[in-house]
Amino acid sequence: MTASKSSRARNARDQSNAARNRNAPAGRGNGSGPAAKPTTVAVKTQGGSAAVKGGGRDGAGQGRVATRNGGPARGGSRAQVTWEEPADAAPATGTAVPLWLQLATFVLALAGLGVSSYLTVAHFTESALLGCSESGLVNCTKVTTSPQSYVFGIPVAVLGLAFYVAAVALMSPWAWRSSRREVHLIRLASVVVGVGFVLYLIYAELFIIGSICLYCTSVHVITFVLFALTAAAAAIWGLNPARQR
């Protein structure tokens, strides 16, 4: 009689332990495997928002639904569940243009702005450019006073000044780090247009005017370098390098 009672008690304990193991979250019932991190999800119901706290994202473990006011969610309401990653989840890694390239393009844009400003002042004051020859192949006055120094009635120096005012903003480190794709598209498009205009000016100097201007040439070189760096950045890091991937 005693043995029979002991056997029934042992069977009852085994059944109770088995039931607890089935209801326990994954990794906790039998002590094997790592415990799943608790995940909080947001639930939208007909009666308002609610929160579900349960096991891992794979659905292991039992969830508990509570409305915002602390009461249980109504059984007949529809729920839309959105999973929220744990706070200690690893952040997404991304690729960004290196700082040296950001600073290099910014400094070049500032240099181009300085030269363009000087050419604009010299154009309107009709003063000779410092350190520039006035005869032979290098003849700044001949270039800056030629008919080709105007495009659609606008002085080329003014167009260069406007280009580099925009370039300083687009080549700044803050613009390079922008998450807006439009900023990076405008930067690339601007240097493409700038290089095309520079090619025309070089053709005009060599084949129409027959002279070159050292200050103009320096602006041309800066524009070419900006184009090369910007195009390389777009090819390597894409048109939105600041966005996390």
Per-residue model confidence as pLDDT tens digits over 171-202: 999 999 998 999 999 999 999 999 999 999 99
Q: Within this chain, do residues 113 and 211 fall inside the same structural domain, yes or no?
A: yes
Q: Which pLDDT score is estimated for 28?
A: 46
- Report the SS3 class of residue 38: coil
Instruction: Report if residue 24 sits inside a domain.
Output: no
Q: Is the pLDDT of residue 214 over 50?
A: yes
Residues 6+ apart with CB under 8 A from 99: 173
Please state, in angstroms and rounded to a whole number, the distance separating the CA atoms of residues 161 and 116.
Answer: 5
Phi, psi of 55, rounded to the nearest 5 degrees: -80, -150
Q: Which pLDDT score is estimated for 191?
A: 97
pTM given for the model: 0.61
Q: What sign has the CA pseudo-torsion 49, 53, 54, 57?
A: positive
Domain boundary among the residues 89, 109, 135 is at 89
- Report the SS3 class of residue 28: coil
Mean pLDDT, to the nearest integer, of 219-234? 97
Domain housing 149: 99-237
Residues 6+ apart with CB under 8 A from 62: 23, 25, 54, 55
Residues 6+ apart with CB under 8 A from 153: none
Tokens 């184009």 found at: 227
Q: Within this chain, do residues 203 and 123 fall inside the same structural domain, yes or no?
A: yes
**Within 13 Å of residue 44, how many CA atoms lie on the same side as its CB?**
3
Instruction: Report if residue 221 sits inside a domain.
Output: yes
Phi, psi of 58, rounded to the nearest 5 degrees: -75, 0
Q: Within this chain, do residues 113 and 226 fall inside the same structural domain, yes or no?
A: yes
Q: Within this chain, do residues 106 and 196 fall inside the same structural domain, yes or no?
A: yes
User: pLDDT averaged over the chain?
Assistant: 76
Q: Within this chain, do residues 200 and 219 fall inside the same structural domain, yes or no?
A: yes
Burial of 45 by CB count in 10 Å (0-12 exposed, 13-18 middle, 19+ buried)? middle
Please state, in angstroms and rounded to a whole number, the distance separating the CA atoms of residues 121 and 236.
Answer: 39
Q: Within this chain, do residues 233 and 114 fall inside the same structural domain, yes or no?
A: yes
Q: How confident is the model at residue 76 (pLDDT cuts 50, 70, 90)?
A: very low
The distance between the two most distant Cα atoms of the chain, rounded to a whole number of Å, is 127
Neighbours of 227 (CB within 10 A): 19
- Exposure string of 143-172, with b = 16+ CB inside 10 Å and e = fewer, is bbebebbeeeeebbbbbbbebbeebbebbb
Q: Within this chain, do residues 56 and 158 fall inside the same structural domain, yes or no?
A: no
Q: Is the pLDDT of residue 141 over 50?
A: yes
Q: Which pLDDT score is estimated for 32?
A: 46
Q: Is the pLDDT of residue 151 over 60?
A: yes
Phi, psi of 90, rounded to the nearest 5 degrees: -70, 130
Q: Which pLDDT score is estimated for 238?
A: 86
Mean pLDDT, to the nearest integer, of 223-239? 94
SS (H, E, C) 69-135: CCCCCCCCCCCEEEECCCCCCCCCCECCCCHHHHHHHHHHHHHHHHHHHHHHHHHHHCCCCCCCCEC
CATH of the domain at 110: 1.20.1440.130
For the ranges 5-9, 115-119, 157-161, the lowest mean pLDDT is seen at 5-9
Q: Within this chain, do residues 111 and 83 fall inside the same structural domain, yes or no?
A: no
Domains held by the chain: number: 2
Q: Within this chain, do residues 118 and 229 fall inside the same structural domain, yes or no?
A: yes
pLDDT digits over 33-64, tens only? 444 444 444 545 445 544 444 444 444 444 44
